[in-house]
Chain A
Amino acid sequence: MPHEQGDGKLIRKHILVALVEDRPGVLNRIASTLRRRNFNIESIAVGHIEIPNLSRMTIVVEADDNKVEQVRKQLDRLIEVIRISDITNDNPVAREMAMIKVKATPSTRGEIIQVVDIFRANIVDVSADSLIIVVTGDEEKVDTLIELLRGFGIREMSRTGTIALPRGGAGPLTIEENKPLRHVVEHVAPEEENLPNW
């Protein structure tokens, strides 16, 4: 939850999304930059996108706005980072997935299935003494389900971390056809380009 730090700065979760080149070492560089600025990464998710040789990263960190903007610029400076944007204020659709293996006896199984149904989660594996449940949703939903299942005994679990897309038409990372990947192309006078305001 957002909270104030001692110096009055508002600490909250930020969702950074980045387009990066799909090459070895990129994740290391990004993690190293965040570590240097003393960020604790809440989650990081990486996967291929519709354009070959590019990946999209979703990084969730908790810090004040200025600090996040500073590290965003430092991440943008990395050669392999093509674009990076903080979409926290764009009301993004943010989801994560969790797999939870929960203890289940004949007497508790029915109750667990009820809880799973309420959360519109799925049971993907059933064995004599346990169930594997898959849930998709925002962080709060996943947290709540985990809390409810805790009473039955969680044996193992795994979460993907958040992935997010901004709502509506073109987002900050949308790559339009025949447009350069980057806002700024060298040697093009600034009037011709839509630059951020500085």
Chain B
Amino acid sequence: MIKTGAEILCECLVKEGVEVIFGFPGGVLLPLYDTLPKYPQLRHILVRHEQGAAHAADGYARVTGKVGVCLATSGPGATNLVTGIATAHLDSVPMLAITGQVPTFFIGKDAFQEVDITGITVPITKYNHLVLDTAELATAVREALYIAQAGRPGPVLLDIPRDILQGRTEFIFPDKVDLPGYKPRLYGHPAQIKKAAELINSAERPVIIAGRGVNISKAFSELKELAEKSQIPVVTTFLGIGCFPESHVLSYGWLGMHGMGYANKAVYNSDLVIAIGMRFDDRATGVVSSFAPNARIIHIDIDPAEIGKNLTVDVPIVGDIKNILQVMNKQIVKRDHIAWLTQLDELRSIHPALEVRDHEGLLPQYVIKQIHEVTGGDAIIVTDVGQHQMWAGQYFFYDKPNSLVSSGGLGTMGFGLPASMGAKVGAPDETVWCICGDGGFQMTVQELATMAQEDLDINIAIFNNGWLGMVRQWQELIYEKRYFGTKLYNPDFVKIAEAYGIKGRRVTRKIDVRPAIEESMAHRGPFVIEFLVEPEENVYPFVPPGKTLVEFLEMPRPTVNLKK
């Protein structure tokens, strides 16, 4: 059947199971926007800035595990996606970014709204492609969606010129994808798995570090089986939070710069690190040369290029985690590791980093704890980037996979608000909390209009401390309180919400926290709560840059508690 390029694009997206497109129109996309209404299966959500489209598609993908799709016009539309694409790239999020391009006969001539977006996005996409023939469009879309989610997922960009969208050709949906250069390895090498199992069986102080790869591979039950069978403590990375229930007796929190002290010590004192679907990021390892100095390291990852990148490992296994653990678990013997677990439990009691201290003012940690209590932990928490992000990781307890959505690798301020839209669209039956700072919130504040237009039931908590808090904390602790460029003059966030037609509340006292949270949850539609929190609160524990994981600073605690 003869179809236009725009129709072929829509047909392919429908056939591939795409349900939502976060987009923003423009000149060269008009043929597509003229076609989209004929495909009501494709829900189009109009964002207010293309960056919002990319982050929303990202949030959608993290919650559903499906490919998130965003759409932008040529030139500035395309460049506005760049931050969102880079965010998805660093956190291995499956995403398809579709950009319009000037007609092929204009390409390379500095035409109006022309930019070489495939050139710009080479280092931040898993793959990108400029489509130059309507006849290859169907194949290009299929390949793009396959590549985005196969192996180690990542963002893929398709650049489609206007005349390709307008061109007509016979529509043939390719029945298979043939990419000779891309065949991700799905099964681990049996000999390597055997070696790893032997190391695990003979280890006295093993620790599992589980990363986002476990979420991507959906290897939750396999990870649990491994941990329980051999009684191995599980520490996650920040992005791995939720891949192993935090209420589990073998869960020892998450490691890293602001990770729990006992998690860092568990890794440091171990004799075997079983790293699963994580990439030894510098925020997770501290000084990498003294990361787990007495441990052998098993590294399971689907991407061979991660092996040996940041540190030398003893047993690398390349493949899909689920498949590898299924084979490996059969070779694991039962152990109890009582001495090791007792030692860790002692550490946990010495470093009870997660208690909210007694304080008259409104502590951000207290607010997070209250959100946890009111929701019963049954919520998807979407964060922005900064202090509140770390507190959201520390003071909320995650038992469900993919229940924390956060920009880890790139640390993108402005991620939270649009990503929470994507999360809500992807999981409409879940309670979604967007936790933002006053700084990051204002980077993508315009998406409140999208939320209002789509009537998305999202609870938004703004932690207003009047500072760019994380930078201020570094200026305080490392630059001797020479505060510069971090104090914020803020608008009235409640009035901002109201201007967008969204209900808002301001909370300044502890006593009002819970009622406000409950009111927000009872309210249908978006709801903004501005918490005026303690302005100079710091995130602890804190591993200063250039230090090892166990050289963390803890919250200064008064030696005598006068209140008692």
Contacts and interface: CB of A to CB of B under 8 A. Distances in A.
B305 A21 contact: no
Interface in B179-238: 179-192
Nearest to B143: A79
Given A28-B119, A182-B183, A197 B304 contact: no
A186 B186 contact: yes
A182 B188 CA distance: 17
A77 B179 CA distance: 12
A118 interface: no
Nearest to B299: A198
A32 B122 contact: yes
Interface in A64-89: 66, 69-70, 73-74, 76-82
- Interface size, B (range): 20 to 34
A183 to B, nearest CB: 8
B123 interface: yes
B148 to A, nearest CB: 11
A197 B193 CA distance: 11
A47 interface: no
A29 interface: yes
Nearest to B319: A190
- Interface size, A (range): 20 to 34
B190 A21 contact: no
Nearest to B313: A198
A64 to B, nearest CB: 13
A198 B192 contact: yes
Given A36-B123, A70-B309, A198 B189 contact: yes
Nearest to B129: A25
A189 B119 CA distance: 37
A115 interface: no
Given A28-B122, A32-B123, A82-B181, A197 B191 contact: yes
B305 A184 contact: no
State the 6 A-B residue pairs at the shortest beta-carbon distance, nearest first. A73-B305, A181-B180, A82-B181, A190-B187, A74-B305, A182-B183
Given A25-B122, A182-B180, A191-B190, 7 more contacts: A73-B307, A76-B305, A184-B183, A186-B186, A189-B187, A198-B317, A198-B318
14 contacts: A20-B181, A21-B181, A25-B118, A28-B122, A66-B308, A70-B305, A70-B309, A79-B127, A79-B147, A80-B181, A182-B181, A190-B188, A195-B185, A198-B192
Interface of B: 118-119, 122-123, 126-127, 130, 147, 179-192, 303-305, 307-309, 316-318
Interface of A: 20-21, 25, 28-29, 32-33, 36, 66, 69-70, 73-74, 76-82, 180-182, 184-187, 189-191, 195, 197-198
